[in-house]
Each structure stands twice: as structure tokens, then as C-alpha cells.
Amino acid sequence: MAKTEVILTHNIIGLGGESDQVKVAAGYARNYLFPQGLAIPLTGANKRRLEVLKQRRAEREAHDLNTMTELAKSLQKLICIVAVKTGEDGKMFGTVTAGMITDQLKTQLDVSLDKRKIHLEHPIRTLGDHEVELRLHADVVTKLKVRVESTTPIAAPPPEAAPEAKKDEQPRTEKRGRRPEGATGERAEHGGERKAGPPKGDRGPGDRGPRGPRPPRGERPARGAGPGHGQTPARAEKAPKPE
């Protein structure tokens, strides 16, 4: 494949910056670099433009350095959240890539960053917080905090069954409740409980009445003297037998 030497007029990542003289494929230069104004052929007349291109390059690099320095200060205070899918055990499906971080920076923080400036020392395979190195400029390197969260809802554990209360621990009110009203009458109707009698003051004529005052000792009648006390009448004199 034929090669041709060109002078770059703009910074092209992976190829060079302004005023750099590089060799590229002739078709690439003819079909892309020259039509886009990104390079010019290397000729005597074009070499006179090198000083202008070098000055433009110095100004661009100074501007880029200031911009990236301010961006690094801002990114150090921010957290980039990346949502991933996980299984029931919390393990991720796949890893977090630089492209995923770049997309979230653009979506969440409105920061446009080339994914090639994100340097991952180890693939991110776990949930939680991670620090990622950003190589924003040749002289600017910073850290970005990336928080990986799961979009899979975590199933709640089943509730534990409450232990049954022991009979001995039940309150006494459950064992001995108050006798409901009317229970006495119901049991009396069925002969299960003795009916209450009339009060003392309502006793009938056959009941023993209250005792009167006791007479003095000398005035007491002899046992069996009075009527109604079981005494026997006096014996009548015997009639004489007929002769």
C-alpha cells in the first residue's frame, strides 16, 4: 500500500497534532484527511505554514490543560452511578466497562469524555464504590468515584412464624373469667345449683321465733309443771274397794 507524507493541521487522536509530519496511506489522505481539511500535502510551499501551525497547537494545548484541570477538580467531588443487572445472589452479569462510565457521565453530569481517558486497572465485577483513574491530559490525572448499583429488586425474607404461647403463660383472666350475668338463674332452672332461700326476717309461722327474756332462777317452773311441756296429770285418789 502506497504511503504519502502529510502535515497535520488539526489534532487527530492516535495520529498526531498540528504541525506534525506523518506518513499515512495515500487513499486515507486523499479520501479523508485532505477533504476534511485535517492535513495538507508535504510540499515546499506548505512548509512555510509550520510556524503558524505550531503556534496554534501551543494555544490549543494550553486551553486543553486549563479545561482538564478544572474538570478534574469537579470530578473529584462527584459520584458516577452505574446501574447493572444482578442475580438473586447479588452477582453481576458481566463487568462495568469504560464505555458504560462514559455514557453515565454524559447522562448524569453532562460531561463529554473520551472513553480512552478512563483507565481501568481491574475489571469492575462487584457492587459498591470503586475508584477509577482518569487520564484527562498528559499532565492531568485524577480519580473518579464510581458507584455500582443493582437494578434487580432484592426479595424480602419470609416472616418467621411466631411461637405459640404456652398454656402456663396465659393470663389468669383467660382461665377464670367472670361468671356471666344470668348464669346462676340458668343453673338453678336446670337443678345444677341450690336456690337461695328467703331472708331471715321473712320466715314462716312454723319457724322458731326469737327467745324472750329468761325468768329468775327461783321463779322458773319445775320441769314438766306447765302445760305443753310433757307433764303428766296428778293421779286421782283410788276409790275404796267395795266390801
Query: Does residue 81 share a domain with residue 41?
Result: no
Q: How many structural domains does the chain have?
A: 2
Please tell me whether residue 243 adopts helix, strand or coil conformation.
coil
**What does the pLDDT read at residue 80?**
92
Among 17-31, 48-62, 140-154, 184-198, which is the least confidently predicted range? 184-198
C-beta of residue 40 within 8 angstroms of C-beta of residue 34: yes
Does 228 fall in a domain? no
| DSSP code at position 111 | -
Q: Which of 135, 150, 165 is the last residue of a domain?
A: 150
Q: Do both 82 and 138 map to the same domain?
A: yes
**155 belongs to a structural domain:** no
Residues contacting 19, CB < 8 A, separation 6+: 7, 8, 50, 53, 54, 57
Report yes or no on 217 lying in a domain.
Answer: no
Strands 140-150 and 79-84: parallel
- Residues 170-188 have a mean pLDDT of 51
What pLDDT does residue 200 have?
52
Cell of 24: 499515512
Report the CATH number at residue 20: 3.40.5.10
Do 133 and 78 belong together in one domain? yes
| Side-chain-side CA neighbours of residue 96 (13 Å) | 32
DSSP string, 126-164: SSEEEEEEEEEETTEEEEEEEEEEE-SPPPPPPPPPPPP
Instruction: Tell me what the mean pLDDT of segment 214-230 comes to.
Output: 53
Closest by CA position to 58, among listed 68, 48, 50: 50
Condensed to tens digits (0 to 9), the pLDDT of residues 203-213 reads: 555 555 556 56
Closest CA to 82 of 98, 65, 66: 98
User: DSSP per residue over 14-52, as a string?
Assistant: TTB-TT-EEEEEHHHIIIIIHHHTSEEE--HHHHTTHHH
What is the percent of the chain where pLDDT is above 90?
A: 24
Domain limit, last residue, from 110, 134, 150: 150
| 24 — pLDDT class (breaks 50, 70, 90) | very high
- Do the Cβ atoms of 206 and 197 come closer than 8 Å? no
Residues 104 and 140 occupy one common structural domain: yes
- Is there a contact between 130 and 146 (Cβ–Cβ < 8 Å)? yes
Q: How many other CB atoms sit within 10 Å of the CB of residue 25?
A: 14
76 shares a domain with 138: yes
Per the prediction, the chain carries an average pLDDT of 75
In this structure, the answer to whether residues 76 and 146 fall within a common structural domain is: yes
Q: Tell me if the pTM is above 0.85.
A: no
pLDDT of residue 163: 56
Domain span at residue 77 reads 71-150
Same domain, 145 and 109: yes
Residue 101 falls inside a structural domain: yes
Least confidently predicted of 29-43, 135-149, 190-204: 190-204
Residue 111 belongs to a domain: yes
Query: Is 41 inside a domain boundary?
Result: yes
3-state DSSP assignment of residue 231: coil
Least confident window among 17-31, 37-51, 72-86, 222-236 = 222-236
pLDDT of residue 152: 77
Residue 201 located in a structural domain:
no
Q: Is the pLDDT of residue 39 over 70?
A: yes
**What's the CATH code of the domain at 77?**
3.10.430.100
Residue with cell 286421782: 236
Q: Do 28 and 86 have their domain in common? A: no
Examine the domain organization and report whether 93 and 142 are in the same domain. Answer: yes
Same structural domain for residues 78 and 112? yes
Most confident among 2-16, 147-161, 220-234 (mean pLDDT): 2-16
